[in-house]
Amino acid sequence: MNRYIRQITLPQVGLSGQQKLMESKVLVIGAGGLGCAVLPYLAAAGIGKIGIIDGDKIEESNLHRQVLYSSEQIGLQKAKEASKSISRNNPNVEILVFEEYLTSKNAPQILQEFDLIIDATDNLFVRYVINDTCVELGKPFVYGSIHQFQGQVSVFNYQEGPNYRDIFPQENQSAPNCAEAGVLGTTVGLIGMLQANEAIKIILEIGDVLSGKLLIYDLLSNSQQVFEFGKVPTRKKSDISPSFEMIASEDVFLGKVLLLDVREFGELPEIQLENLLQIPLSILAQKQENLDKEKEYIIFCQSGGRSLKAAQFLSEKGFQKLKLIRGGAKELIQATKNEKSIS
């Protein structure tokens, strides 16, 4: 217990608090910028069991903000390397590594093993999967996300409190910016730290948890603002019908389908499939005559924003059979690899 003596000394923690930390099971979804801030502090604090899920590999352009990784780890799996890094600090923590992306298919099984979920993803579609699974399983989740120098933090589904859909009900209305926006390491670091802090407060049952409150932190002005929200009782899950069907990337291989990649030429990961057509969103208006209105198209981009815009545009032009891939290009390439290894 000497390891934790300086936090046990706090009257709000004590031996009983340390016991709570050591008995808790926390899943961190995403081992990117936010995850790299969340994970070491949870491990160092003595959380009993930590799950890390991420299907991504370390890239050079990650290193300025994903500080758990070093240059010689480029190309290696994030989840595994993050696990190694945090167990060097605290070998007492049991770590479960999931080298895959979270999808609506694997989510219930993975989430049910944990008491508390931390959303450290950079993907709006996955956020709805996390939200809906947490609501289904009755688990709280700590949300964090950033936009340039601003960050949002909140705790959803905590003690039957409101969830993400009570603020942003419909995934198909979301317009994330697919193109990788700029970010400073300190921004994700600080927001991730706030997430870890909320997680520890929830486990210790101390302080005011950000349930029903959306914190917006602006790092340029150093201002913090808290916006309150409640449950929206009239909004049932069944009322939310996205106008475009979202399909899981692995379902792309069922039957004969046409894939439409609306990313700009040269964006990574590059995907080459026989049934794939690439028309960047920026030139879709000029090139739409290359598409057949009678055919079904499954559209994707990097993480969902441009594919939605493309679908809305084509729908206005009379295309009726349009679907979107949940998770975008990165999940599709993962599914492509899985498919190849099966067949």
Partner 1 sequence: MIQVKYFGVIAEAANRDSENIVEENVTLSKILSDLSSRYNLGEYNFQIAVNRKIVSNYSDEKLSNGDEIAFLPPFSGG
- The H or E element spanning position 306 is helix 305-316
Q: Which pairing describes strands 322-326 and 213-218: parallel, antiparallel, or unpaired? A: unpaired
120 binds partner 1 (CB under 8 A): yes
Is residue 173 involved in binding partner 1 (CB under 8 A)?
Answer: yes
Q: Which is nearer to partner 1, 19 or 197 (CB)?
A: 197
Question: Please, which residues have CB within 8 angstroms of residue 28's CB and are 6 or more apart in sequence?
Answer: 35, 38, 39, 42, 50, 51, 52, 53, 118, 120
Q: Lay out the site mask for partner 1 across 130-159 (x = CB under 8 A, - = otherwise).
A: --------------xxxxx-xxx-------
Which residue in 72, 208, 228, 274 binds partner 1 (CB under 8 A)? Answer: 228
Residue 231: count other Cβ atoms within 10 Å of its Cβ: 13
222 DSSP assignment: T
Cα 197 versus chain centre, distance: 18
Centre a 10 Å sphere on the Cβ of residue 268 and count the other Cβ atoms it contains. 11
CB of 51 or CB of 305, closer to partner 1: 305
- Options 7-15, 27-35, 92-100, 106-114: segment touching partner 1 (CB under 8 A): 27-35
| Residue numbers 294-323 binding partner 1 by CB under 8 A | 303, 309
Q: How far apart are the first and last CA of the chain?
A: 51
CA-nearest of 327, 339, 338 to 101 is 327
Q: Does 177 bind partner 1 (CB under 8 A)?
A: yes
Site membership for partner 1, residue 265 (CB under 8 A)? no
Our finding on whether 197 is near partner 1 (CB under 8 A) is no
Distances (CA, A) of 216 to 7, 152, 153, 194, 314: 28, 5, 7, 11, 35
Task: State the Cα–Cα distance between residues 288 and 319, nearest whole angstrom.
Answer: 10
We find the least distance from the C-beta atom of residue 289 to partner 1, in angstroms, to be: 24
- Assigned token pair, 221: 């002005």
Binding mask 203-222 for partner 1 (x = CB under 8 A): -----------x-x----x-
Question: Which DSSP category does 29 fall into?
Answer: E
**Binds partner 1 by CB under 8 A, chosen from 22, 74, 183, 291:** 183
Single out the residue of 15, 232, 268, 283 in contact with partner 1 (rule: CB under 8 A).
Answer: 232
Of 39-47, 96-104, 114-122, 320-328, the window that binds partner 1 (rule: CB under 8 A) is 114-122
Told to check if 50 binds partner 1 by CB under 8 A, we report no
Pick the piece of the chain touching partner 1 (CB under 8 A) from 52-60, 121-129, 201-209, 243-251: 121-129
Q: Are 29 and 130 spatial neighbours (Cβ–Cβ below 8 Å)? A: yes
Among 19, 87, 89, 174, binds partner 1 (CB under 8 A): 174
| Residue ranges that bind partner 1, judged by CB under 8 A | 30, 32-35, 120-124, 127, 144-148, 150-152, 167-168, 170, 173-177, 181, 183, 188, 214, 216, 221, 225-229, 232, 303, 309
